[in-house]
Every structure is written in C-alpha cells, then in structure tokens.
Amino acid sequence: MSSLQKGYKLVYDNIVLIGFMGSGKTSVGKVLARQLYKEFVDVDSIIEVEQNSSISDIFENKGEDYFRALEQKCINELTQKTGQVIATGGGLPIYSSISKKSLIVYIDADFDVILNRLPAKERDKRPLLQDESRARALFNQRIDTYKEQATFSVDANQSISTFIHVIRDFILDKRVL
C-alpha cells in the first residue's frame, strides 16, 4: 500500500520549475520563493557564475554537450538540499534526471505566446532560440517530456500575476520541506 493510500501526504524536498525557454520560470520562481518563504535558485545563473561565462559563450566555446553535463551536475547538487524553488533551463528535464523527491511544476505556455512575450534582448541570450522555425520544432519535440515529468502543469498563457496563485495554492496543499 502506498503512503498516499495510508493517508500520509508525500513530502517533497524542493519545488522545481520546468518549461520552454522564456516561459517565465525565473520570474515565477522569484515570486513563489518569496511567497512561500523558500530560497530561490536558478540553474543557468549558477552555471554562469561557476563558469564565469555566459550561457551563449559556453555553447559557443565548449559546446552543448558540455553545457548539458554542467546542468546535470548542478541539479544533482542542488537537490541534495531542501527548501528551495529551483528554476531550470528549458533543456534540463530533457537531458537530465531530476530527483524524484522534487515537486515539479511545468510552466505550460504556447510557443507563440512565449515569443510575443520575450523582449529581443532576452531572445539574444538564448542560442537555441535564434532560428524561429528550429525553436518551434524543438518546442514541439519537448512538450510531451515536460508534461510527463511534471507533478503539476499550469496554463501559463496569461500574465504571471494571473497564474501564479494557481501554482501557489497547489503547492500549499502539499508538503514541501
């Protein structure tokens, strides 16, 4: 009999936000962390600080495989700890495994909504978003994996302030350390 059937709630170590590039994981994560009194961490930012290099430069100089290995190492290290809201890069759940003890929230926004929302400056920072038709194909390839990995998906085709309370209410109903 599973712990849920016995009436116990599952306990999650951390909240992990997943979704396509530019879907708002970092913005959502900062607000959620503040509202839930958790620490906010961002995998891309950690990698940039540790490597002393931008994501674009890492892709250009060391290649995508190198970056993916850094992502896996970073999420492994972060999930040794508890009590964090972790924003991931859009490819992380595709190439890396995330600890099963994480409450994974998929920020589910349509490709066109994402593109319209993203300022040119933010697009420029993302090597895999430079060619629109390739990015759209990548989006379509990844959608199923995002949904499979998620404990919970939120419709993010609306302003962050509109959907963030949906995420918060879902999380508050769970036990996160």
Q: Does residue 83 interact with ligand S3P by CB under 6 A?
A: no
What string marks each residue from 118 to 157 as x (binds ligand S3P by CB under 6 A) or -? --------xxx-----------------------------
Which is nearer to ligand S3P, 91 or 163 (by Cβ)?
91
Q: What are phi and psi of 10, to 5 degrees?
A: -65, 145
The string over 163-172, giving b where at least 16 C-beta atoms fall within 10 Å of a residue's C-beta and e elsewhere, is bbeebeeebe
The binder of ligand S3P chosen from 24, 29, 89, 93 (CB under 6 A): 89
What angle is formed at CA 102 by the lines to CA 118 and CA 40, rounded to 5 degrees? 50
Applying CB under 6 A, the span of 17-25, 78-86, 104-112, 157-165 interacting with ligand S3P comes to: 17-25
- The answer to whether 105 and 14 are in contact (CB under 8 A) is no
Residues 22-41, interacting with ligand S3P (CB under 6 A):
22, 25
Beta carbons within 8 Å of 127's beta carbon, 6+ residues apart: 55, 56, 59, 60
Which residues of the shown chain bind ligand S3P in the complex (CB under 6 A)?
21-22, 25, 44, 55, 89-91, 126-128
